[in-house]
A and B are shown apart, each in its own frame.
Chain A
Amino acid sequence: MRSILLALVLFCTMLGQAGAVVSPDEVLDDPALEARARALSANLRCMVCQNQSIDDSDAELARDLRVLVRERLVAGDTDEQVINYLTARYGEFVLLRPQFNSRNLILWGTPVLVLLVGGAFAFTAYRKLSGKRSVEQLSPEEEAALQKVLDSQE
């Protein structure tokens, strides 16, 4: 199963150099800015790779994107501006976390929906069962009759 994953990762490493990812010459001097760059990179896709972020990929393109992200940050962009800039250039494909919008409603809504519907279903099933139980319980007349029988036994 993993063979395909490995093969594709391999494809990626072949495009770039095998080995380490972010190289020291890319690292920004300002640690706060660099931390933001790393956090952003983890959410951006290396588009020639299979499901790898540009932070994890050795491919040439990933490197270019990492440098681009850092350039934008140095130029004073906010995180959101960087994301918007890249999305405008490369499309939504570059985002590893799809946008939170109405088009992606199915994606973001499914967990909530399943949880709610499942919970509601469990609740109604419980209500139905406990409702049945009350039907199965003895009526006061039956209770009295039973008590009579029990009393007569003593």
Chain B
Amino acid sequence: MAVELGHFALVLALALAIVQATVPLVGARVKSYQLMRVGETVAIAGFLLILVSFTTLVHGYIVSDFSILNVWENSHSAKPMLFKITGTWGNHEGSMLLWVMILAFFAAMVAVFGRNLPPSLRANVIAVQGMVAVAFLLFILFTSNPFTRIIPAPIEGKDLNPLLQDIGLAIHPPLLYLGYVGFSISFSFAVAALIEGRIDAAWARWVRPWTLLAWAFLTGGIAMGSYWAYYELGWGGFWFWDPVENASFLPWLAGTALLHSAIVMEKRSALKIWTVLLAILTFSLSLMGTFLVRSGVLTSVHAFATDPARGVFILIILLLFIGGSLALFGLRASSLTSGGLFHPVSREGALVLNNLILSTCTATVLIGTLYPLLIEALTGEKISVGAPFFNLTFIPLVVPLLLAVPFGPLLAWKRGDLLGAAQRLQFAFGAVLVVMIGTYFFSDKTSTAAALGLGLGFWLIFGALTDIAFKAGVGKNSLSVVFSRLKGLPLSVFGTAFAHAGIGLTVIGLVSVTTLQIERIVLMKPNDVVEAGGYTLKFSGVTPFKGPNFTEDQARFDLTGPDGRRLGEIAAAKRLYPARGMPTTEAGIRTFGLSQLYVSIGEATPNGLVVHAWWKPRVTLIWIGALVMMFGGGLSLCDRRLRVGAPTRRKTAVEAEA
């Protein structure tokens, strides 16, 4: 019964979404305040209805109601409660429901926090948001309904894919979707601006916090997914350039570009047309990512052709929204006047360079991801585009960008002083030289890549520190003046510094682990010893273990540190989930400072157990860096001038607050 309620709520939400997509639009056109206001109420009600719908599905999972097809296919009564709940979005139908719920959530946020937006802009934004909601609600109801019943109800469920039975599923998809779908707001603002035919710096001030919010979530979502794959898949990789990963990385790249171009637009009224285009492209890439992952087109063009219902539906949505918004852009973009002149060497110029390189990176990842599909569709041949291609093209593009990052914030608007910025960065440069020489002599003389790469990471961090130090007047003022100036700096300055330093940390992690990791592959019998990174593992044997819904063979190792101290046990396992008959590998991971010891086991042969042990130096910095980036985004969001909904546009806002 509860599930029918959820189903009904979803249909009702569709009806409301249709109202939301049309009435405010008409209202804005005929300048009827009443009609425009309809959107807000409807957006909030629509979100609540989808929330009800989602809750009933979660309830179905909690009580293991196997009369629901979706629950039967993806759950099991013996599964731990957390994984029953997270299993709700561990499948296609449930994850689409989560997607559309977050979409409705953002529309409701605009309705609640957008009170000081000009009424017509707000109405248009909510209407565009409604259009996207209509499309995806139709998609769910017609091709991916999570509320389908089966009669008679089976006794037991088929269980969730064991790899997904992990805390990662609780965090990764919701964060990722908050990011993905969060860009819908930037998109709606862009389309609304095109519909209105006007755009100004205040527009950028509204769009920027939303973009920042989505970007911070997406950063966290991608990093969380990467760490999840790292520990769950059991071979120590953290980024595979897999199409599914690229699907989330593409909006991140475009979103990062958008974040930066919106700054130029807000501060200098320049790059207006480009910013609008980027906002459209970013969400288009989110939509495309959804299409790529959800249609099955990735595995093979043929898989798509054999069960085309879903794929074709999303393809139509894709064409409608991307094509429609780009057509609107083509018609209206020329009416948006651009202002704000600047010299190539200036803050604006630096941000243009950022956008140029990030756009090229986006195009590169996009072509690499789509190329095999393109070739297969055109010629029928199958080819592969994998990590070696992306490393070869992406890294040379992104390194110059990262080298340039510390200069950006040090350049003045309009016309900057490159020599002056370089002089300010001399201490950072000196420190980087020390790091590079130190790495070369003390860490690994054979690896110039390690020295150069670590230098790049520290360059970003010291560059960020230089920016703060310069703005606080370190060296020019007394300590107390510096301190009071630090306190007076806007939070967004710290946000920028943290985000840039965060990339530096991630770079250090990536470079350390790819150039300096130590790998051992050995056959081990009990009491055999293997050493990695100064740590010694003594194999003590395999013991069986029984979990709530799995059995496993645990290989246990006694761990001894470089100083000879005993550090307890580390266990790696091979696990079997009987419900699906699927084996998984559970890696044994121990963290020492920033580095990790990573152990995973293979097959048992007559000559012993196959053991892989890795020493992964500073590997955790990859994800810590992402968290620092997120934190930087959060700091910027807390900035008074940027707070969601805080910006004012002339008198309207004053009245709204009164």
Chain A residues near B (Cβ < 8 Å): 1-10, 13-14, 17-25, 27, 42-43, 45, 50-53, 56, 58, 91-98, 104, 106-108, 110-111, 114-115, 118-119, 122, 126, 129-130, 133
Contacts and interface: CB of A to CB of B under 8 A. Distances in A.
Nearest to B603: A17
Interface string B82-121: 0000000011000100000000000000000000000000
Contact of A19 (B229, B359, B601): B601
B483 interface: no
Contacts of B173: 1-3
Given A3-B161, A6-B163, A96-B387, A51 B232 contact: no
Contact of B344 (A21, A110, A126): A126
Contacts of A115: 356-357, 360, 397
A4 B602 contact: no
A9 B605 CA distance: 23
A10 B363 contact: no
Interface stretch (B236-244, B502-510, B630-638): B236-244
B91 A3 contact: yes
Given A2-B225, A2-B244, A51-B240, A98 B385 contact: yes
A24 B386 CA distance: 26
Interface of chain A, main secondary structure:
helix
Nearest to B611: A20
Given A106-B367, A111-B393, A19 B600 contact: yes
A7 B161 contact: yes
B311 to A, nearest CB: 14
Given A20-B601, A24-B521, A93-B384, 5 more contacts: A3-B95, A20-B611, A21-B612, A106-B371, A108-B393
Nearest to A9: B233
Interface residues of B, number: 74
A98 to B, nearest CB: 6
A117 to B, nearest CB: 10
A92 to B, nearest CB: 5
A114 B366 CA distance: 12
Contact of A27 (B371, B521, B607, B611): B521
B521 A23 contact: yes
Interface in B173-227: 173, 176, 225
7 contacts: A1-B247, A3-B90, A9-B233, A10-B161, A20-B600, A45-B386, A126-B344
Given A1-B225, A24-B610, A133-B341, A93 B364 contact: no
Central interface residue in A45, A94, A115, by most chain B CB within 10 Å: A115
Interface stretch (B56-64, B320-328, B419-427, B580-588): B580-588
Contact of B363 (A25, A114, A122): A114
Interface of B: 90-91, 95, 161-164, 169, 172-173, 176, 225, 228-229, 232-235, 237, 240-245, 247-248, 289, 293, 298-299, 338, 341, 344, 352, 356-357, 359-360, 363-364, 367-368, 371, 374, 381-389, 392-393, 397, 521-523, 574, 582-585, 600-603, 605, 607, 610-612
B583 A51 contact: no
A105 to B, nearest CB: 11
A133 B414 CA distance: 13
Contact of B233 (A6, A20, A94, A96): A6
Contact of A10 (B245, B393, B582): B582
A120 B140 CA distance: 44
Nearest to A109: B367
A98 B370 CA distance: 13
B383 A6 contact: no
In this complex, which of A7, A13, A27, A45 has the most chain B Cβ atoms within 10 angstroms of its Cβ? A13
Contacts of B299: 8, 50
Given A20-B601, A107-B371, A96 B582 contact: no
Contacts of A51: 240-243, 384, 386
Contacts of B298: 4, 50
A54 B383 CA distance: 16
Nearest to B613: A20
A43 B169 CA distance: 30
Nearest to B241: A51
Most central of A20, A111, A118 by chain B CB within 10 Å: A20
A56 B228 CA distance: 17
Q: Lowest 8 A-B CB distances belong to which pairs? A: A20-B602, A96-B386, A19-B602, A97-B388, A20-B612, A6-B163, A18-B583, A114-B363
